């Protein structure tokens, strides 16, 4: 095994089982039967070995197509004011494929354009959308480069959005940065060969560079995504107060004066659903978090962070009563609970504005 390889064992109980044997992943999936379809947006991960090596930005192994994709992203215009990066990963032709992420991305783009007046030119999408012209795939390198574009030359008054719909995992934290001992990750399209993007990297890339007067909202529809931006404050809806999430190591996880807010599909130890439970026809798959997020904002033109969070939680609880048999949405009867984290404490009764 080379120093860049990782041997992993994956297991998503009750709906998925993925076992790593000598570096080869073997997958077995099952689906819920009945009117509604539901699927977990993530896998539990247990790392047997984890070896680190810094990679150059453009390794010699990059194909001409991959280099062209990176060049395209680097040439994206840095529009001042509002700009957004939307990533949807279906993992097409893979056994752990998700069926609702493309729909999620399309609907989020509509929300940003028509509800929050984002110019279409300021929104870039990484997804497996064949119907879109010049679309780029959500590979690890493309996502990393696009995240750098998102915060490039940010300045006072900018409103930035990062949205991700796909699989989320956890892995052991070896640097005393996590209170629960686990780093959270998002899974790019090529995570099996290139690896995951961990919360430490996301924090370094899009949180630390935020300047005074800049606000970043991250909406992450994935399993184990509660603290995916590694922000130092997490809001507890049960205790109705901010909880200290600063790393035990003492390393700084804040911004350069700006404000970062993350709205996640669930807590770090929970699973999120890719489901048709909210569809009128019972057929359209979409992320439970994405649907309830959009619904809360479309139904309330004066939504606050508090009302947004409450609406999302109430809709998921209502779906549980309606579709109590959906294990993918309600893993072992535990409902996914949307969570807000922030680089600083603030009043959740503030208006939600992008």
Query: Which of 19-23, 39-43, 62-66, 277-281 is predicted least confidently?
Result: 19-23
CB 40 within 8 A of CB 331: yes
Q: What is the pTM of this model?
A: 0.84
Q: Which helix (H) or strand (E) holds 123?
A: strand 123-127
> Can you give the pLDDT at residue 135?
75
Active site (annotated) includes residue 223: yes
Here the contacts of 97-101 (C-beta below 8 Å, separation 24 or greater) are 98/39, 98/41, 98/165, 98/166, 98/167, 98/274, 98/285, 99/37, 99/39, 99/274, 99/285, 100/165, 100/274, 100/275, 100/276, 100/284, 100/285, 100/286, 100/287, 101/127, 101/165, 101/166, 101/274, 101/287
127 pLDDT more than 50: yes
Tell me which residue has tokens 């807000």: 340
Lowest mean pLDDT among 277-286, 308-317, 335-344: 277-286
Active-site residue, selected from the candidate residues 12, 15, 124, 167: 167
Residue 332 in this model has a pLDDT that exceeds 50: no
Q: Provide the β-strand partners of residue 303.
A: none
Percent of the chain with pLDDT over 70: 78
Q: What is the pLDDT of residue 26?
A: 30
Task: Compute the distance between CA of residue 191 and CA of residue 89 in angstroms, rounded to an integer.
Answer: 11
- Catalytic residue (choose from 187, 223, 266, 323): 223
Fold (topology level) of 65-342: Rossmann fold (3.40.50)
- 167 annotated active-site: yes
pLDDT band of 244, cuts 50, 70, 90: very high
Q: Is the dihedral of CA 252, 257, 259, 260 positive or negative?
A: negative
Residue 129 has pLDDT above 60, yes or no: yes
Domain chopping of the chain, boundaries: 65-342
């Amino acid at each position: 095994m080379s120093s860049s390889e990782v041997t992993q064992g994956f297991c998503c109980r009750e709906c998925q089982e993925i076992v790593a044997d000598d570096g080869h992943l073997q997958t077995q999936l099952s689906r819920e039967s009945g009117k509604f379809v539901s699927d977990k947006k993530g896998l539990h991960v247990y790392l047997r070995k984890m070896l680190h090596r810094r990679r150059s930005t453009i390794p010699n192994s990059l194909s001409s197509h991959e280099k062209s994709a990176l060049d395209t992203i680097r040439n994206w215009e840095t529009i001042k004011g509002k700009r957004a990066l939307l990533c949807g990963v279906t993992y097409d032709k893979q056994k752990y494929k998700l069926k609702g992420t493309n729909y999620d991305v399309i609907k989020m783009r509509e929300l940003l354009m028509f509800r929050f007046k984002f110019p279409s030119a300021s929104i870039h999408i990484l997804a497996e959308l064949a119907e879109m012209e010049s679309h780029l795939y959500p590979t690890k390198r493309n996502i990393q480069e696009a995240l750098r574009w998102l915060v490039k030359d940010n300045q006072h008054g900018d409103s930035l959005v990062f949205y991700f719909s796909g699989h989320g995992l956890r892995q052991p934290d070896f640097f005393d940065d996590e209170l629960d001992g686990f780093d959270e990750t998002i899974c790019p399209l090529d995570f099996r060969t290139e690896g995951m993007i961990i919360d430490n990297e996301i924090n370094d890339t899009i949180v630390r560079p935020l300047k005074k007067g800049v606000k970043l909202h991250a909406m992450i529809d994935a399993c184990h995504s509660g603290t995916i931006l590694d922000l130092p404050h997490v809001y507890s809806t049960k205790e109705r107060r901010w909880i200290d999430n600063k790393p035990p190591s003492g390393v700084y996880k804040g911004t350069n004066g700006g404000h970062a807010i993350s709205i996640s599909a669930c807590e770090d130890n929970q699973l999120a659903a890719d489901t048709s439970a909210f569809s009128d026809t019972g057929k359209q798959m979409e992320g439970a978090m994405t649907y309830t997020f959009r619904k809360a904002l479309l139904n309330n033109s004066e939504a606050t962070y508090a009302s947004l969070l409450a609406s999302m939680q109430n809709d998921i609880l209502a779906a549980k009563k309606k579709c109590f048999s959906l294990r993918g949405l309600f893993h072992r009867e535990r409902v996914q609970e949307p969570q807000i984290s922030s680089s600083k404490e603030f009043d959740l009764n503030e208006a939600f504005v992008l």
